[in-house]
Structure 1
Amino acid sequence: MVFDRKVALGFMRSYALLVRHRVDFVLARDSHLLPAELDWAKWSDFIFHFRYIEDGDVAKRYHYGQLRLSRLNWAVRLFRPSCATTTWFYELPHWSIDRYIQGAIAPLAFGFASLSLVLSSMQVLLAVPDEGLGLHRLTLSSLVPMRQTFWIFSIIVLLLLAVIWSLLFIIPSVVISWQLVWGFKNRGNSLSPTSHKV
């Protein structure tokens, strides 16, 4: 493997941008990313100049930052690198969906309960006979606008729910389809195994 100065500079610039404060330094040293005998003053003097390196002075892999795990998972599925441990994931996700369900169930349950309460109360108001209201000043003609308003609101709620549920299914399927099409079109343009060492 040939030494590439731009790769080394990009690596050092990454460290310079990630370990900027004393707290970052302590965390990096505790995680064994930096030598234990190195202190903050020496590190600051050493790394200071690497913070101001321009994009043109580093390798292209350091221009864009890190990829999300979801993007890396898709890259593994499409390009099937030999170094991957599985054919589906760059890194295995959580084995249980409990975390995701717990995060999503509370807002969904609250929204469903609120909407059910509103629609049920509207239904009760419309179902009670006019004589049973106990309000003698209300006539049948004065209740017509209220019934029309409730009817329009109910239709709007149903339409909004239809749009929300269709977007919950349509947008992810369009994004996944687009990623698959792009991946299969660019499958032959993937980097060669030797260029991964850059």
Structure 2
Amino acid sequence: MAPPDSPRWPLATELSGTENGKRTTDALPATYHYHEKAGKRAVGDPAEDTLAFLQRELSLGGLAGLMKHLWFAGAERPAMPLHSYVAMGREIVVLDRMDMHLLWANDGRLFVKPVPRFLLSPDFCQSNLQCPDGCTCGDPPANACRGVPRKVALGFLYTYACLISSETDFHVANEKRLLPRREDDQPIEWARWKTLARELLRMHEHDPGALHPRFRRAELRLSRLNTISRLTSIPLFNPYFRGRYNYGSLFRDNLAWMATTTVFVAVVLTAMQVGLATERLRGDATFQQASYGFTVFAILGPMGAFALVILYALFHLVKDLPSLLGARRKRTATGRAVSSAEPKTPA
């Protein structure tokens, strides 16, 4: 018995404004960045290998390995309208990474990935997000299988159907450049967007399995994802997303909470000192023991916390040292090669 054909692209609404006769690859970006290996970034042409581009562009990255722990980072619910985030004081930060879409940080930032132009072209999606005939979309998927990128793309578009539910959200999205513009640099029509959003909602109601399960939980808390990654990933203690790129910010952020904790400890110690001055608590053995224990903690706690911050910084320094030295050797070798290639000026 032949395996069943994979489902076809379920959306038929054209929003990209492409003219008839244009190639489907015209909806692709100019270039894309990817990592050939750890610490080595490269730039590629998406039109040369569209499948490789889509597998990277629609990849959930490290988030795919944390799927069973996402309950700790966010509730299972759809995304709120965009204007609600603005009213809450969230800063919408445009970041063109699928694995960072709808992640929010403690400082109020909400990372949002803009809608790529090619996902609003049914012809492109039908040609490039359609599995070959006979593909079973197994686990692990075959090299030619496009089931996972298709589910990620549909789940991603479904979040936008939730984010842009009214004309107010539509104007906010265009202001933030979250939606691609037409070829005449005009926003897409609101009526066309409504049609696509309703198609996505009907698809979600009739076939929830067509969407990747990551998008069942819209917003995810970045700090909790970092905690999950530190405890479950190999190597350990690596955050999901490193928001600091220098050691000064690392010490500044950690010293802030240590200073707050020190103030709280100082208030408690003052209250205990007042209690020991009273006749009722002066002879209470339990209160004496509690005061003794908390005093020792107040002395050793800040020292231990500061030592942990120092060790954490040294850990990352030792881990990053090989790549830093390698980059320095490479720059030195390049400089010597350029110097040797320069013509010698006669005396």
Greater helix content: 1
Greater strand content: 2
Task: Name which one, 1 or 2, has greater alpha-carbon Rg.
Answer: 1
TM-score between the two structures when normalised by the length of structure 1: 0.49
